[in-house]
Amino acid sequence: MSEHFASRRFLLLLRSNWLSRSGAVVTTFSFMLMVSSFLLQVFGILAGPYAGLVTFLVLPGLFVVGLLLIPAGLLLYRRRLGERMEALTHRPFRLLRLVAVLTVVNVVVVGVAGYQGLHYMDSVEFCGTLCHEVMIPQYNAYLDSPHARVACVQCHIGPGASWFVKSKLSGLRQVLAVMFDTFERPIPVPVKDLRPARETCEQCHWPDKFTGDRLVVRRRFKSDRETTPSNRVLLMKTGGTRPDGEPTGIHWHIHSGVEVRYRASDESRREIPWIRLVDRRTGREEVFTLPGVDPANPPPGPERVMDCVDCHNQPSHIFHRETEEIDRSIDLGLLSRDLPYIRKVGLEALRASWTQAGAEAGIRGMLSEFYAAKEPVPAEKRPLVEAAAKEIHAIWARNNYPHMKIAWNTYESFAGHAGCLRCHDDDHVSASGRRIPLDCESCHAILAYRTPDLPPYLR
C-alpha cells in the first residue's frame, strides 16, 4: 500500500507543473519507442542507417531531455510546488526510495543507450552510409576491397581513449560541414591528422611479420582489334624483416632500425625534394636531395617519418585505374573479346565525360553506334554489345562520382610507380654521390612482360 502511495505522490509531483509533465511524457514515449524500435531492428523488420540514428541517438537524446525537464520544471515552479508539497511531506523516505529506484533505472537506460549509440557511431553503416552523398564513393570502393571486413574506425580511429575523443570532435565538425555544405569536393588527401599508421595498421599487420616475395600476375590486354592478351608477371620483393632480424625488400623502409624522413614541397606530398635516411643499426645517416636543394637547409614545412600510408594511401577504399578495371572485366569474360576493339572503345567510353544520370544511356549509345557503324556485328552478337554496355557503365559508376568531383585518378595509389618514383627517380643524390635505386630488379623481378601466353606454371 505504502508503495502505491509513494508512486501516487510521485505522480502528483510530476503533474505539479506543465514542464515536468511534458518531461515525463517525452521520457515515457521515447523510452517506449526506443524499446520497440530496438526490438524491430533485432528482428530485422526495421533496418538502415536512419533507423539506427533514431534508435541509438535521437530517442536516447529525447529520453535524457525529458528527464532533465522534470527537475527543471520543479525548480522553476517552486511556488506552485509548495501547494502540492503538503501531501508529500508525509513519510518522505518512501518517496525518496521510489525516486532512487527510478534514478537507477534511468542511469541504466541512459548507460545502455549511450553505449549502443557510441557503438553505432563506430559501425561501418554509420560512417559509410549516413552522409550518403559524401561517403558513398569510399563506401562502395571499400566493399570491394581486401579490408571489406575491417571497420572504418579500425583504421581511422584505432584503439585508445584520446583518439576516440579526437574522432568524436572531428566527427562533429564534419557533421556541421555537411549540414552547412562547406565540405570540400573531392575530400582532400592526404588526410590531415590521420592517426599514425603504425598505431592502426600494426594492430593487424606488423613489419616484423612480412617476409618473402609475392607473385603478382597482371592479366592485361592490348587495345588492338583482337584484344590480344599482354600479361605481366612480377615477383614483388615485398620483404620485411628476415628471421635473423635484418631488413629486406620493399618493407625495408619500415624496419624498426630504419627511419626514412622527408619533406614535401606540396600538400599532396607528390614532390619530395629532401629525404633523410637514418639507419640506426649501422649508424648510417644520409640526406638525399633533388638538384639545387641544399641538404643542410631543407625546404620549410613539416618533416614526416615515412610509414605505411606513404605507400598504402589507398589500402581500403581503392579506386582503380580505368585500364586495370577494363582488363579485369575482359579477363573475367564480362566484356567479350568476340567484339572487335572492345578494349579500345570501352576505354573511350570510360574516359568520356558523363553526368551521373546520363552515363548509362550515353555509354550504351556510344557502343551501339560503334558496333552498328564502325565495326558492324551480326545480330546474334547484339546481346554481347548490350552486356558490354552494362559492364562498362558499372565500372564507370564505381569509380566516378561527379557530385563529389571524383574521376579517374583523383585518388591515386602510391603503392606503385607513381608513389615510388617520387623518391626512386635517379635524381635524388646524397653528398657522397649515392642515388636512391631505380633499377627494376631492386623492387621486383620481372618474370614475364607483355606476353600473350602466361608461363606454363600459371596457365
Interacting residues with ligand HEC between 190 and 219 (CB under 6 A) = 190-191, 194, 197-198, 200-205, 207, 210, 214, 216, 218
Helix or strand holding residue 155 (H, E): helix 152-156
Which region, judged by CB under 6 A, interacts with ligand HEC, from 22-30, 71-79, 304-312, 377-385?
304-312
From the CA atom positions of the chain, what is the Rg in Å? 31
341 forms part of the interface with ligand HEC (CB under 6 A): no
Q: Which residues pair with 407 in a beta bridge?
A: none
Residue 162 CA to residue 299 CA, distance in Å, equals 32
Which one among 17, 30, 313, 400 touches ligand HEC, defined by CB under 6 A? 313
Alpha helices, DSSP H, located in 240-341: 322-331
Torsion of CA 313, 315, 316, 321, to 10 degrees: 80
Q: Which residues pair with 236 in a beta bridge?
A: 214, 444
Please give the residues from 216 up to 235 whose contact with ligand HEC meets the rule CB under 6 A. 216, 218, 220, 232, 234
The number of angstroms, rounded, from the C-alpha of 400 to the middle of its chain's C-alpha atoms is: 16
Nearer to ligand HEC, 27 or 138 (CB): 138
Residue 158 CA to residue 149 CA, distance in Å, equals 15
Query: In 3D, which of 36, 366, 404 has the Cα closest to residue 187?
Result: 404
Count of residues for the chain? 459
Residue 137 C-beta: closest distance to ligand HEC, Å: 7
Residue 235 CA to residue 198 CA, distance in Å, equals 26
Q: What are phi and psi of 89, to 5 degrees?
A: -65, -20
Please give the residues from 245 up to 264 whose contact with ligand HEC meets the rule CB under 6 A. 249-254, 260, 262
Please give the residues from 370 up to 429 whose contact with ligand HEC meets the rule CB under 6 A. 411, 415-417, 419-420, 422-424
Q: At what angle do helices 382-399 and 322-331 cross, to 10 degrees?
A: 140
CA torsion through residues 164, 166, 172, 173, sign: negative
Residue count, binding to ligand HEC (CB under 6 A): 80
Residue 314 C-beta: closest distance to ligand HEC, Å: 6
Nearer to ligand HEC, 250 or 384 (CB): 250
Nearer to ligand HEC, 14 or 397 (CB): 397
Binding map of ligand HEC across residues 272-301, x = CB under 6 A, - = no contact: x--x-x----------x-------------
Residue 173 C-beta: closest distance to ligand HEC, Å: 14
Binding map of ligand HEC across residues 134-173, x = CB under 6 A, - = no contact: -x--xx--x---xx--x-x-xxx-----------------
Residue 436 C-beta: closest distance to ligand HEC, Å: 5
442 forms part of the interface with ligand HEC (CB under 6 A): yes
